[in-house]
Amino acid sequence: MNDLTNVTTGEVRLSYVHLFKPYAFQPGQEEKFCCTILVPKTDADTMARINNAIAAATEKGVSGPWNGVRPPVIQSPVHDGDGVKPSDGTEYGPECKGHWVINTSAKADYPPEVVDANMNPIINQSEIYSGIYGKVNLSFFPYAFGGKKGIGCRLGPVQKLKDGESLGGSAPTAAQVFGKAAPATPANGMPAPAASAYGTTAPAYGYVPQTPQYTPAPAYPQQAAPAVNPITGMPY
């Protein structure tokens, strides 16, 4: 692109990622697509292009919303990750150390394209989380709002390059929460029965069913048959 206010970064890390659904950090704020860009301080090329884009946006501000006057203090979208947050004076998180921190957003009507390293659209939202590495397209613009004049940063397309360690605020996976799969249990909630050496099963909770013993019926004395005369066929 020929617009001097537009920059596509080198490899950066993404935090506070909300790329698929607009989000407001505080109640009442306008919901936007947003993320925080962590640019390594070793990436001099990306930061040189960002600084040039901010300078070009500043010139647009002077000739536009700032009415020909360069403000003595111009709010910058770039912050030092080794310093403190301008919002509350607290230190940035450890992931920001050694980086430049840039907050960027897009209005709810302009969702950013999100693609993988092969330029395929990312459909599975779980692939995008705080901690991934990628490239981000940024557009810098002047603003005058609420008595403040500065340079804003508009979020453009995002390309994921690789996974990274998940940063705070991302949802854990089921494996992280529940661990290994538990052994199956019967519908009544008791432990599954263990197989015996005879192919039958016995519950694992101590009760072993007893095989009923067969008791033969009592023997009754039988009457002896009367003796028969073999010649006459009559009883003696």
Q: Specify burial of residue 46 (Cβ count, 10 A radius: 0-12, 13-18, 19+).
A: buried
Residue owning tokens 């647009």 = 60
32: nearest Cα among 42, 24, 20: 24
Tell me how far apart the alpha carbons of residues 234 and 224 are, in angstroms, rounded to a whole number: 16
Tell me how far apart the alpha carbons of residues 164 and 160 are, in angstroms, rounded to a whole number: 11
* Element (DSSP H or E) covering residue 176: helix 174-178
Q: Convert the pLDDT of each residue in 54-65 to its tens digit.
A: 999 999 999 999
Q: Measured in whole angstroms, how far is the alpha carbon of residue 215 from the centre of its chain?
A: 67
Q: What percent of the chain stands above pLDDT 90?
A: 64
Least confident of 7-11, 52-56, 126-130, 232-236: 232-236
* Element (DSSP H or E) covering residue 179: none
Query: Which residue has better confidence, 17 or 213?
Result: 17
Q: Is the pLDDT of residue 84 over 70?
A: yes
Instruction: Decide: 36 and 83 in contact? Cβ < 8 Å.
Output: no
Instruction: Decide: 153 and 138 in contact? Cβ < 8 Å.
Output: yes
Query: Which residue has better confidence, 185 or 96?
Result: 96
Least confident of 7-11, 89-93, 232-236: 232-236
Q: Specify burial of residue 138 (Cβ count, 10 A radius: 0-12, 13-18, 19+).
A: buried
Q: Is the pLDDT of residue 196 over 50?
A: no
Instruction: Report which DSSP code applies to 173.
Output: P
pLDDT at 210: 53
Q: Is the pLDDT of residue 6 over 80?
A: yes
* Other beta carbons within 10 Å of 164: 16
Tell me how far apart the alpha carbons of residues 91 and 84 are, in angstroms, rounded to a whole number: 4
pLDDT at 183: 59
What is the DSSP track for 73-135?
S-B-SEEETTSB-TTT-PBPPGGGTTEEEEEEEEETTSPPPEE-TTS-B---GGG--TT-EEE
Tell me how far apart the alpha carbons of residues 186 and 108 are, in angstroms, rounded to a whole number: 49
Model confidence band, residue 199 (pLDDT cutoffs 50, 70, 90):
very low
Least confident of 62-66, 83-87, 132-136, 154-158: 83-87
Q: Is the pLDDT of residue 153 over 70?
A: yes
Q: Convert the pLDDT of each residue in 113-148 to its tens digit.
A: 999 999 999 999 999 999 999 999 999 999 999 889
Query: Which residue has better confidence, 180 or 159?
Result: 159
Average pLDDT score over residue span 31-53: 98
Q: What structural domains and CATH numbers belong to the chain? A: 6-168 (2.40.50.140)
Model confidence band, residue 204 (pLDDT cutoffs 50, 70, 90):
very low
Calculate the average pLDDT of the chain. 83
Distances (CA, A) of 3 to 54, 56, 57, 138, 140: 12, 9, 10, 11, 10
